[in-house]
Structure 1
Amino acid sequence: MPDNLTKLLSDAVEAPHRLPCAAAMAAHEKGVLFEYAGASEPSGIDCNSIFWLASMSKAVTATAALQLVERGVLTLDTPAGDWVPELAAPVILEGFGDNGPILRPARQAITLRDLLAHTSGHGYAFGSDALGRYVKQAGLPPRSSGTRASYNLPLLFEPGSDWHYGIGVDWAGAVIEAASGQPLDTYLEEHVLAPLGMADTGFTLDTAQAARRAPMSRRDEDGRLEPMTMLAPTTRPEFVSGGGGLYGTPRDFLCFLRMLAGGGVFEGRRILAPESVQTMQQNQIGNYRGGWITSAQPRITRDFDLLPGMAQKWGLGFAINPERSAEGRSAASVGWAGLANSYYWIDRARASCGLFMTQILPFADPEALALFRRFETTINTRLDGCADS
């Protein structure tokens, strides 16, 4: 398996305009099964290179929230407005009139569960034409500004009445700050990242870390990859994005995945109680469908369905596949992704996990998705073969 997988991955980064770089790792309860990293640039990368994790951050922030639930500081049904003033009187965007956006007060309170499960009514401008129009008409700064005001978006629906992928986990980070009395980055460092040995994961990069960043590219309409520059975040933003602001290495993030695959423990260090891990991986959205994005800004993301043809659910931090996937992922497993085309899974039945990471925009890149799915299929087939032998 390793030789075949290595060739599969190296062929992809060496061929013109397929992938600028790729890192792939997999593990089970006995340790790391496979790792690879490569780039089309001569300098190359390895599994200690720095990648923008983007929405892979969401599960890390959800882990912090569950820690505070364990301690009795929060409950999942805590009204978020009790902790964060901006969430105390949410408004719903009903449309647009001659005088601008039409807003009405929400009838339901937003809970911490809503924020983590994407049932709060929050969205992203890249996934909603209405929110994109609102941002322009309201003159909001872009989220890349790192300002708190850039997250002050109206809701798309009543809290708890639907599922829509959005900035709810960013606001969950603000709840964590208020409830813990610590900035989110400080809390995560002390209670999640440092205990897991994730020394290269954070919201800002020092000079040495910035020099280890994997190259970022954009794929144009003709399928060609062009280098793009994303400035390294060297100073802390006003509003730390718990939903998408983390940078880190594949090796670091695999430690996090192994902790969740291991029921909350990694190398003898308990991060979460088993009951909390189970709650994170249980359906939190009832009959609604999760795990999809409809693009409103094609330069940022294509339409995306993590597991096409399956009515996926959502837990607290990631999508849930209720059935066995085409890649052989066991039923009731979880996984998700990051905007720069990084993807991961945690297979509960096999106590295994894996990740595939590259750095391309727009999201849902066909080459990256195809390679991720072939990688996961190969890993799951190998694990099944070991179990049968």
Structure 2
Amino acid sequence: MVILTEEGKVALNSLLAQAIAENRVPGAYFAAGTADGTLYSGSAGIRSFRDPTSGKVDENSVFWICSMTKLVVTVAIIQLIEAGKITLETPVDSIVPELANPVVVDDINALEYTFKPAQNKMLIKHLLNHSSGLHYVPSHRKASPESLGPAYTAVGYGGDFSWRKFFELIRNGLPVVPLAFEPGTSWAYGWSCDIVALIVERVTSKSIEEYCKEKIFGPIGMKTTSFYLTPELEKNIVSMTYRRKDGALEVWNGQLGIIEREPSKVGILLGGIGTYTNLDDYLLFLRHLLQIQAGTATNPLLSVGSASNLFRPSLPEHCVEEIKAFGGWEDCQFGYGLCLANSDWPGRRKKGSGFWYGWAGTYYFMDPTTGLAVVYGTQVVPTNDPEVVKLWGQLETALYAGLKD
């Protein structure tokens, strides 16, 4: 099993400190571990831009991890599959009738849709690898190109935080839900994991929060992870920071719409974007998945076979180009819940690694070949902030340079 040298730790500490000193990001957290334990955790900066009284970013800091929620709810639904409650081939509309009779649009970016009835059934397996056809709102249908879609913003609901309203919002003005393509034939990033969480709720008659606390968070000790920004979590929350188009950072003042954060107002729990956690909790989750693969997990959340399926390519080959068009990553596939590197990233993660990120500036990957799990967090928006992404690459490169067998 790999270890991280002292020189490697010094290099990571230096990168974090330098990023703050140069005002590239207000604060950041980075941690790496193996199935056996944590190799490194480090942080720099403050929790709220230009507010030293907010406290330092540290191991207790809480982040809104947005789409890193997707892997959690993917594990939840796979547990139900293992329990025989549903199967990968279960038609989605048998549990979510709101998705019955969808239409396939000819061009999701068109100002006016033309469409035809979908011929293929949307199955649960299509939700797990984003081949369902469900897609996020095109830029011209948002408040601004850099915004989240209305179904992911508090203002979009107008106070009616219900699934009825959610489906109304994702229909984009059509009488039924639009799909980008026939289910199972291509790849598009979208609402699939929100539907995954809804299926878990309807099959178990529990909220996704209740289910995850009982079956995922509790069993492996994720004590600060929740779909609710409770007062306990809020006292350690890392505030959002907005990057203006001129590159300057700006104190958060609601420049972009985000999900409802007041626990008493949250009416539906969004499996695609809805969790808060400190990143050590999330690292624990990733390390547990590596432990399952290694056969060393105590009370594993999944079987070895199901954990391996997370890392097994599941899409038609042409989808490599669709994924590249979305994220800019060369030669990537998708397993269940994870984007997969089909080849080594020079000086970084190895072939077979699974990864994703969160809209507000959090990132992770698991590299089974090296035995690594890694998390990284800021809270800088708009998403994929250049400085945030640059620091992520620098930290990952320094981590691998500092490893020793």
CA distance in 2, matches of 1:53, 1:293: 23
The 3-state SS of whatever aligns with 2:33 is strand
Partners of 1:165 and 1:292 within 8 A in 2: no
**1:321 and 2:379 matched:** no
The whole-number CA distance in structure 1 between the counterparts of 2:223 and 2:298 is: 18
Per-residue Cα deviation, 1:267-311 (whole angstroms, up to 9, x for no partner):
6231111100111111111211254565xxxxxxxxx32x3xx22
Bigger relative CO (Cα 8 Å, ≥ 6 apart): 2
Cα pair 2:186 2:316 within 8 Å, conserved: no
Q: Which amino acid aligns with 2:373?
A: C
1:150 paired with 2:166, answer: yes
CA distance in 2, matches of 1:121, 1:263: 31
In structure 1, give the amino acid aligned to 2:70: K
Q: Kindly indicate whether the alpha-carbon contact (under 8 Å) linking 1:206 and 1:234 is maintained by their aligned counterparts in 2.
A: yes
How has the CA–CA distance of structure 1 residues 120 and 311 changed in structure 2, closer, same or farther, with 3 Å as cutoff? same
User: Which residue number in structure 1 is paired with residue 37 of structure 2?
Assistant: 31
Superposition deviation, residue 92 in structure 1: 2.3
Distance 1:217 1:206 in 2: 21
The 3 A distance-change label for structure 1 pair 186 and 70 is: same
- Aligned residue for 1:78, secondary structure, equals coil
Task: Kindly indicate whether the alpha-carbon contact (under 8 Å) linking 1:255 and 1:266 is maintained by their aligned counterparts in 2.
Answer: no
Corresponding residue for residue 190 of structure 1: 214
Question: 1:57: which partner in 2?
Answer: 69
Residue of structure 1 equivalent to 2:192: 168
Amino acid at match of 2:243: R
Secondary structure (helix, strand or coil) at the match of 1:194 reads helix
Contact 1:320–1:333 (8 Å) recurs in 2: yes
How far the C-alpha of 1:370 sits from its partner, in A, is 1.2
1:244 maps to which of 237, 251, 273: 273
Give 1:72 shift.
Answer: 1.1
TM-score w.r.t. length of structure 1:
0.87
Instruction: Call closer, same or farther: CA 1:7–1:160 in 2, change over 3 Å.
Output: same
Stretches of structure 1 lacking an aligned partner (at least 5 in a row): 134-138, 295-303
- Unaligned runs of 5+ residues in structure 2 are 1-7, 144-148, 172-177, 255-259
Which residue does 1:257 correspond to in 2? 286
Alignment partner, residue 300 of structure 1: none
Deviations 1:314-351 (A, max 9, x none): 11112100111124311111111000111111001122
Cα separation, partners in 2 of 1:282 and 1:64, compared to 1, 3 Å:
same
Equivalence for 1:8: 15
1:70 aligns with 2:82: yes
The CA RMSD over aligned residues, in Å, is: 2.4
Give the Cα separation in 1 of the matches to 2:94 and 2:366. 33
Which residue pairs with 1:298 in the alignment?
Answer: none
Aligned mate of 2:27, from 21, 31, 35: 21
Mapped to 1, the partners of 2:9 and 2:20 lie a distance apart of 17
Task: Indicate how the Cα distance of structure 1 residues 281 and 339 shifts in structure 2: closer, same or farther if over 3 A, else same.
Answer: same
Query: What is aligned with 1:375?
Result: 395
Q: Which amino acid aligns with 1:93?
A: V
Q: Is 1:29–1:351's contact at 8 Å kept on the other side of the alignment?
A: yes
Query: CA separation of 1:356/1:99 partners in 2, compared to 1, >3 Å: closer, same or farther?
Result: closer
- Normalised TM-score (structure 2): 0.84
Deviation at 1:37, TM superposition (A): 1.9
- CA separation in 1, counterparts of 2:114 and 2:264? 37
Given that residues 51 and 247 in structure 1 are in contact (C-alpha distance below 8 angstroms), is that contact kept between their aligned partners in structure 2? Answer: yes
Distance in 1 (alpha carbons) for counterparts of 2:107 and 2:142: 12
* 1:16-66 CA distance string (max 9 Å, x none): 2x1011000000133111111222442212122110010000000100011
Q: Note if 1:212 corresponds to 2:236.
A: yes
Structure 2 counterpart of 1:171, one-letter code: I
In structure 2, the residue corresponding to 1:34 is in which secondary structure? Answer: strand
Query: Which residues of 2 match residues 122-137 of structure 1 at below 5 A?
Result: 122-125=134-137, 128-129=138-139, 132=142
Moved more, 82-91 or 234-243: 234-243
User: 2:9·2:402 contact (CA, 8 Å) conserved in 1?
Assistant: no
Who is 1:85 aligned against? Answer: 97
Residue number among 374, 385, 394 corresponding to 1:365 in the alignment:
385
Residues 1:272 and 2:296 aligned together: no
Q: 1:311 aligns with which of 326, 331, 356?
A: 331
Mapped to 2, the partners of 1:314 and 1:64 lie a distance apart of 18
Q: What is the number of equivalent residue pairs in this alignment?
A: 364
Task: Supply the distance in 2 between the matched residues of 1:74 and 1:9 (Cα, whole angstroms).
Answer: 45
* Identity fraction in percent: 28
Query: 2: distance between equivalents of 1:377 and 1:263?
Result: 26
SS at match of 2:292: coil
- In the other structure, the counterpart of 1:299 is none
SS of 1:270's partner is coil
**Pair 1:262–1:141, CA change in 2 (3 A):** closer
Q: 2:305 & 2:265 partners in 1: Cα distance?
A: 33
Given that residues 323 and 330 in structure 1 are in contact (C-alpha distance below 8 angstroms), is that contact kept between their aligned partners in structure 2? yes
Q: Distance in 2 between matches of 1:199 and 1:321?
A: 31
The answer on whether the counterparts of 1:141 and 1:147 sit within 8 Å (CA) in structure 2 is no
Which runs of structure 2 are paired with 1:289-368 in the superposition (5 Å)? 289=320, 291-292=323-324, 294=326, 304-305=327-328, 307=329, 310-368=330-388
Q: Which amino acid aligns with 2:166?
A: S
Aligned partner of residue 31 in structure 2, secondary structure: strand
Paired residue type of 1:53: I
